[in-house]
Amino acid sequence: MTSGRKNFLSHETVVAGLRSLASQSFKRSGRTAAMGYLMLKAKEPSKGDAFELYSNGNDSVEPELKRFFRILPGTPLPDVNPFGQREGAIEFLAPGYERRGTYTHLYEGRNLNSLLEVSPTDGHFSIRIPDDAAEKIAELLGDKIPLKAAAAFLLRGEPFDDGVTDKDVVERFTSVFNLSDKEVNALFKNDALGFTFSEQKYDESLASLPPDLQPRSQSTSHATTARAAKELVPMAASSELDLVISDDVRRRICRAVASSKAVALVGAPGTAKSRLWAELLEEAVADPSLLGLDNPPSFVCYTAEIDWTARTLIGGYYPQEGGRLVFREGYLLQAIRDNQLFWIDEMNRADLDRVLGPVLTFLAGQSVDLGLTHLGGGDGADAPKSMVLMWAKGEKSGVKEDDDQRVYYVGSDWRLLGTYNNVDRGRVFPMGSALLRRWALVPVPPIDIAAFETLIAKITKLRAPVAKLLSAAYALHLEALSIGPAPFLDMARYVSKEAEASSDSTVTVLEKQLLQDAYILYMGQQLMRLDPDKREAFFDGLGGIFGHDLASEAASL
């Protein structure tokens, strides 16, 4: 190597470090604390010194978040918590984690507050990190962090001189994070990972991550529900809880599908609209008559996106060699070709009046001219064909073509299904009256408090005092904020996974902390929908349930 050349940890080393960290069985409460601790240690001027921390900007942990944990910049999930996994997958984080995931955990009763010396000061915090914080975080994690794996991942952007050794990398790691020998020994353990180097810095992009380390749900509009022909591996249940649906709602959905070609479930977030479709379609595989069908349904599901156009769903012309423009089917025509029902999830995320233009006429029972198979000439067998979308006798759908035309035919079993968030309909795209007339809209209201109490009682390891608080919170939100039970069930699972067994008749200190964390995680961003006239009474009620510190924090989001 040329003397003075800068080198970086190689791509293989960075990936190996991330994979090692993600494979650890750390407890959830410790994972968040470890990430916040390391960012605060990197922010610390020198060991033991107090410093000021704000919620955003250069005086927040935002620069440290970007430097150490941002591996997919410019994407909807730019940052990663590399310490273990959440629900079986590496955890990628939405923008704003510097406030949501670190700053808010400095409030009294939150996990970082109990580990550090924190003083609120004029809208920000004064912080000092005591020597024993690392030991406490290791206890929260349930194990120590592999030292070389952490260095391999977190120092991926650091330049090194020629001749660097493994010892040099570890020393750089302890220097960057202001770690004393005591802190290193308390929080980290030795591991066998070795370091290799490259002249190229690690490329922070999705393409650099192997499939097992990529976000489970990427920024994509396509989600397909499929069924294996036979069981090769045990399949996880979508939920340990039975779906709660009133007989009236179930009857309306089944009758709507039996009598209408386009049916949407309409309701607030968290009312299980998507799960309801999935379970009814699953039941219809065994009994198609449940939905008025002749054959077991196969279906494809796409989540609507703001950038959808008619090309996305119907299709459009794409250039080929020689200058010819060839028609390529969109999602909807592909589903018809494959004899699949077409399900659009979160319909109001797309401008469906524009996207489904030709389908409006089709849903009214008329055939639709789709244009030619290609543009740019051709003779004989290569001549362009006309394309038609039409309703056909018989229950099946598909495509037939001859020398002159291609026909997309739709049978009596085909349906257009959807879910529609009527709370957010004004914030994204409302549906025009012409499109609405083509749909049968089935309201799916939030379940009542009695049904919620029955449902939450089925969550294993959830103690009665916690269930009582969550039931009170659900009742409060039913009156003030239209939302279903899903976020509150997520809170219950969050607490039940981490809380320890107790015979106390009230919530424990740990359970209270977990409840506060869970509320911010699962409900925080919904609070912007509160009616301004109801805010004061709502947060008073919230404080009476979870404590006024949480209510104050939630009110500031």
Q: What pLDDT score was predicted for residue 222?
A: 37
Distance CA 52, CA 62 (A): 14
Distance CA 13, CA 153 (A): 8
Distance CA 56, CA 101 (A): 12
As given in the structure block, the two tokens for residue 426 are: 């004004």
Say if residue 509's pLDDT is above 80. Answer: yes
Q: What pLDDT score was predicted for residue 223?
A: 39
How far from chain centre, in Å, is Cα 353?
Answer: 27
Say if residue 313's pLDDT is above 60. Answer: yes
Element containing residue 251 per DSSP (H, E): helix 247-259
Say if residue 199's pLDDT is above 60. Answer: yes
Over residues 540-557, mean pLDDT: 86
Say if residue 315's pLDDT is above 60. Answer: yes
Q: Is 274 helix (H, G, I), strand (E, B) or coil?
A: helix
**What are all long-range contacts of 314-321, with beta carbons under 8 Å and residues at least 24 apart?**
314/357, 314/358, 314/359, 314/370, 315/370, 317/374, 317/375, 320/374
Q: What percent of the chain has pLDDT over 90?
A: 37
Say if residue 490's pLDDT is above 60. Answer: yes
Asked whether the whole model's pTM tops 0.85, one would answer no
* Nearest one of 36, 28, 88, 27 to 62, comparing CA atoms: 36
Q: What pLDDT score was predicted for residue 234?
A: 43
Please classify residue 210 by burial: count the beta carbons closer than 10 Å to its beta carbon, then call 0-12 exposed, 13-18 middle and 19+ buried. exposed
Over residues 69-77, mean pLDDT: 81
* Nearest one of 15, 155, 32, 156 to 91, comparing CA atoms: 32
* CA-to-CA dists, residue 129 to 34, 54, 117, 519, angstroms: 13, 16, 6, 26
More confident residue, 348 or 277: 277
Domain layout of the chain by residue ranges = 8-213, 222-227+240-443, 449-556
Over residues 54-65, mean pLDDT: 87
- DSSP per residue, 329-344: E-HHHHHHHTT-EEEE
Beta strands in 190-295 (DSSP E): 197-198, 222-223, 262-267
Confidence of residue 423 (pLDDT cuts 50, 70, 90): confident
Q: What pLDDT score was predicted for residue 397?
A: 92
Position 48, amino acid = G
The DSSP code for 99 is I
Distance CA 158, CA 6 (A): 9
Highest mean pLDDT among 26-30, 303-307, 389-393: 389-393
Distance CA 120, CA 52 (A): 10
Distance CA 47, CA 271 (A): 49
Q: What pLDDT score was predicted for residue 110?
A: 74
The domain made up of 222-227+240-443 has a fold known as Rossmann fold (3.40.50)
**For residue 160, what are the contacts with CB-CB under 8 A and spacing of at least 6?**
6, 7, 8, 9, 168, 169, 172, 197
Say if residue 210's pLDDT is above 90. Answer: no
Highest mean pLDDT among 45-49, 207-211, 389-393, 427-431: 389-393
Beta strands in 19-123 (DSSP E): 51-53, 79-86, 89-93, 117-121
Say if residue 375's pLDDT is above 80. Answer: no
As given in the structure block, the two tokens for residue 484 are: 């279903």
* Least confident range of 52-61, 102-111, 263-272, 482-491: 102-111
As given in the structure block, the two tokens for residue 155 are: 């120092």
Highest mean pLDDT among 95-109, 233-247, 280-294, 411-425: 280-294
Q: What pLDDT score was predicted for residue 265?
A: 94
Over residues 75-89, mean pLDDT: 81
